[in-house]
Structure 1
């Protein structure tokens, strides 16, 4: 009887994981905002999962969920591989160094989870602001291009170095929080490469996010911060739902979806930031 109850509990939990993956995947397809912004908070708050495990599991989920998108953009030739290389030159070493730091702290018995939670809160707030201001940012960039804004000129002059430094920052923060490779990375690329088409920016950011989240996720797995059973359920529910969400999203007004999502992300960010202050 006890074994039957255990099997029933495991089955119910697996169904919940699949449904969670499906809900988050649908929102990803609907809004285009990365899964880390929603998946990690849901795992921590909804399932009471350890923050480190939530981050590590979500990183692998993000890598697997975005692979198809990279193949699509590559076929459409909407990826600037030179920019991907510059970002990766900064982000991948930064991710590896961050993982080495986390592994060392774990072996020493240091509780670093409150720092991960604080980083998660900060990145969620930043993502919310980016989602709020995306259209306004694009309009300002267009005006700056026409007027030869000094800031735009300086960004163009040093953007190779700035792109690498951006990669360093993303590698550190994404490895700690699983958030930022999508919305924040895209916003920075818009600033650095204002003449580039939107679809090219999205494709380039996606192509950089996959190896970054994959390496960070594998590193978390090596230090014991990934739940593979949870990951399999999230993938089963998430991948089909992303496609479904993208179909529905084409018919819904962006001006309604993005503010709602931004308010949710802002609330989550404030919650995680304040709980560790």
Structure 2
């Protein structure tokens, strides 16, 4: 029964995570921390939950990236640029995870999510920066629609570093920060931002999970149970996201972050 529940958890987390560009860790980490005894018969530390989640994100993000690539939504050139700093930063974040105590981790995770939710709520009142960036990109999706946006090297690398650090530290992929910044700062179309985010998450997760593995913070049995569901859920999520409007994606992300923030903050306060 535990294995069945873990497989289903992989499906739901990966499907939901790939829809909003988070990679599924936003569900995996809290569930493993809160329901560890029911799922595995023993407590799961936050560092192990993060390491396990980040390892699963490799599969989720790969499945999503392949599905998005078929729809020509992934900007690979921009993704490789972001990865130049997100990869090393993911390793740094992974090395720092175990230094947080249980309450401190839950509170910091919850506050971060609350800030990200606030950013997305404020998006209706904030307009994307109307600036001509030095690097202009144009992408034509599978429907033949053309989207133009742009960025500069230094801000892009800075965002990549932040995404990687959060990815390794919290095991959530970093898309909660990556997607809104891409949309607001660089005027990425929401679907392209989500798709490109999943590509960067895939690359960063490989390095971040490698660091967690070296530190012994991965439960490989749980990974084996989550992987089949993660592969299916990642592809299903990408299919569903392609049928949703950009506005629908952002509202789904807002509600998700608010609920998770409230849960983690309450959990952290009870552990103080």
Matched, 1:210 2:199: no
Query: How many residues get paired?
Result: 249
1:274 and 2:269 are equivalent in the alignment: yes
Deviates further, 201-210 or 240-249:
240-249
Provide the TM-score with structure 1 as the length reference. 0.74
Structure 2 unaligned residues grouped into runs of 5+: 37-42, 136-149
Deviation by residue 1:183-241 (Cα, 9 ceiling, x = unmatched)? 321111112321x4333222221211101112101210111000011011112233324
Secondary structure in 2 matching 1:41: helix
Q: 1:61 to 1:13 in 2, by over 3 A?
A: same
Please tell me whether residue 166 in structure 1 is matched to residue 155 in structure 2.
no
Distance 2:53 2:253 in 1: 22
For 1:66, the equivalent position in structure 2 comes to 61
Contact 2:76 2:196 in 1 (8 A): yes
| Structure 1 residue 17 displacement after superposition | 1.6
Q: Taking structure 1 as reference, are residues 17 and 271 closer, same or farther at Cα in structure 2, changes over 3 Å only?
A: same
| Structure 1: 5+ residue stretches without partners | 1-11, 146-151
Q: Give the 3 Å change call, closer, same or farther, for CA 32–81 of structure 1 in structure 2.
A: closer
Q: 1:131 to 1:40 in 2, by over 3 A?
A: farther
Identify the range of structure 1 (13-22 vs 201-210) with the bigger mean alpha-carbon deviation.
13-22
- Structure 2 length normalisation: TM-score? 0.75
CA distance 1:92–1:113, change in 2 (3 Å): farther
Cα deviation for residue 116 of structure 1 reads: 3.9
Cα pair distance change 1:241/1:79, threshold 3 Å: closer
* Residue in structure 2 matching 1:45, options 21, 30, 34: 34
Using the alignment, how far apart are the partners of 1:218 and 1:71 within structure 2?
22
Counterparts of 2:179 and 2:236, CA distance in 1: 23
Distance 1:206 1:158, change over 3 A: closer
Q: Secondary structure at the match of 1:140?
A: coil
Q: How far apart, in 2, do the equivalents of 1:97 and 1:33 lie?
A: 19
CA distance in 2, matches of 1:163, 1:30: 23
Match of 2:146 in 1: none
Q: Which range moves more in the overlay, 266-275 or 36-45?
A: 266-275
Q: Which of 164, 169, 176 is the equivalent residue of 2:169? A: 176
Residues 170 and 211 (structure 1), Cα distance of their counterparts in 2 relative to 1, 3 Å cut: same
Q: Which residue of 2 aligns with 1:129?
A: 118
The CA distance in 2 between the partners of 1:79 and 1:259, in whole Å, is 23
2:111–2:261 contact (8 Å) kept in structure 1: no
CA drift at 1:51: 0.3
What is the rounded CA distance, in whole Å, between the counterparts of 2:271 and 2:127 in structure 1? 36
SS at match of 2:127: helix
More strand per residue: 2
75-84 or 184-193: which moved more? 75-84
Task: Find the aligned partners of 2:92 and 2:253 in 1 and give their Cα distance.
Answer: 34
2:132 is the alignment partner of 1:140 = no
2:141 aligns with: none
The equivalent of 1:81 in structure 2 is 76
| RMSD of aligned residue pairs (Cα, Å) | 3.4
